[in-house]
Chain A
Amino acid sequence: MKLREIRDILDAEVITGDANLDKEIKYVNAADLISDVLAYSTGPGALLITGIVHSQVIYAANTIELGAILFVRGKRPNEATLQLAIENHIPLLTTRYIMFETCGRLYQLGMRACIEKVKDDRGGK
């Protein structure tokens, strides 16, 4: 799905001005904890749906080469975080839908997660 379609489906606003909306997004991850974002990323180019708007989310995005970040619940990052995203060429979008609705709408249209479930050994080795 193209980033443009995601924007339209979720009535989202692109915060990073001249983002490439033709970018193809193949997988989605939704999380509000950074380590979970890192742990369950499977490859570059995914969309992250999150409520975290601190600059750390941009650094994390850079680490795993996210395709874009979509903030839910109408959240917006501050100017410094926005600039950091622009410098790192990470498109940022914001939607007023809550996380459940956001995920549900994308799933309904065929988007799928980076991973479906965690392995059953969670809890330590």
Chain B
Amino acid sequence: MTGAGNNIPFREMFHIEGGNFTNAGSISSQVKKILMRAGFSHGVIRRTSIATFEAEMNVICYANQGNLSLFITPDSLKIVVEDEGVGIPDVDLAMKEGYSTANEKIHELGFGAGMGLSNIKNNTDEMILTSKFGQGTHLEFVVSLEGKDRLVPLLSTKE
């Protein structure tokens, strides 16, 4: 997608509409397809997909809208999620397993276990979460590439 010599051989951005559960999960599904087509190993795809699914759900459940970007670099897979919404007043508290501010509607759909952010942390090698209360949240996480997976970005990541 970008020219040769650039450190980011591939990037793709997806828009997420807050509150719309109709196709919730479809973006992480698309991310997974891209990673499968590229030929990453099962473990890398699985960890990235779980973390991406949770990140997508967080925007749908709690924000007005957001964008999720996938970057494939020679060393890692990186996902950046930027949303506009209420934000998180206490990031440390939000990171605790079991802590949730989900409302009844979210629970009815099977979300709001308070496990989302820890699922992201547990499946990734780096995670950064910052938030401005009343404005939005910035989340990024990285899955490092090792062994054969390091060759994949060089070979094929084109759409």
Interface check B2, CB cutoff 8 A: no
Contact of A65 among B46, B53, B115 (CB under 8 A): B46
**A39 with B109: CB separation less than 8 A:** no
**A63 with B110: CB separation less than 8 A:** no
**How many Å lie between the Cα of A54 and that of B26 in the bound state?**
13
Interface check B139, CB cutoff 8 A: no
**How many Å lie between the Cα of A59 and that of B21 in the bound state?**
12
Contact of B110 among A32, A64, A122, A125 (CB under 8 A): A32
Instruction: Provide the residues of chain B in CB contact with A58, threshold 8 Å.
Output: 25
**How many Å lie between the Cα of A64 and that of B115 in the bound state?**
16
Instruction: Provide the residues of chain B in CB contact with A44, threshold 8 Å.
Output: 42, 46
**A56 with B109: CB separation less than 8 A:** yes
Instruction: Provide the residues of chain B in CB contact with A123, threshold 8 Å.
Output: 96-98
Known contacts A33-B113, A35-B54; A55/B97 CB under 8 A: no
Instruction: Provide the residues of chain B in CB contact with A47, threshold 8 Å.
Output: none
Nearest CB in chain A to that of B117: its residue:
A35
**B29 with A59: CB separation less than 8 A:** yes
Interface residues of A in 54-89 (CB under 8 A from B): 54-60, 62-65
**How many Å lie between the Cα of A52 and that of B109 in the bound state?**
7
Q: Which of A32, A38, A44, A124 has the most CB of B within 10 A?
A: A38
Query: Whole-angstrom distance from the CB of B100 to the nearest CB of chain A?
Result: 9
Interface residues of B in 113-140 (CB under 8 A from A): 113-116, 118-119, 122
Interface check B34, CB cutoff 8 A: no
Instruction: Provide the residues of chain A in CB contact with B50, threshold 8 Å.
Output: 38, 41, 63-64
* Per-position binary interface string of chain B over residues 7-33, scored 1 when its CB falls under 8 Å from any chain A CB and 0 otherwise: 000000000000001111110110010
**A63 with B29: CB separation less than 8 A:** yes
Interface check A98, CB cutoff 8 A: no
Contact of A36 among B23, B25, B113 (CB under 8 A): B113
Instruction: Provide the residues of chain A in CB contact with B32, threshold 8 Å.
Output: 62-63
Contact of A35 among B21, B22, B24, B113 (CB under 8 A): B113
**B98 with A60: CB separation less than 8 A:** no
Instruction: Provide the residues of chain B in CB contact with A9, threshold 8 Å.
Output: none
**B21 with A63: CB separation less than 8 A:** no
**A59 with B53: CB separation less than 8 A:** yes
Interface check B95, CB cutoff 8 A: yes
**How many Å lie between the Cα of A55 and that of B28 in the bound state?**
13
B residues with a Cβ closer than 8 A to A are 21-26, 28-29, 32, 42, 46, 49-50, 53-54, 57, 95-99, 109-116, 118-119, 122
For this complex, 6 residue pairs linking A to B, each with C-beta atoms less than 8 Å apart, are: A38-B115, A56-B57, A59-B29, A62-B29, A63-B29, A124-B97
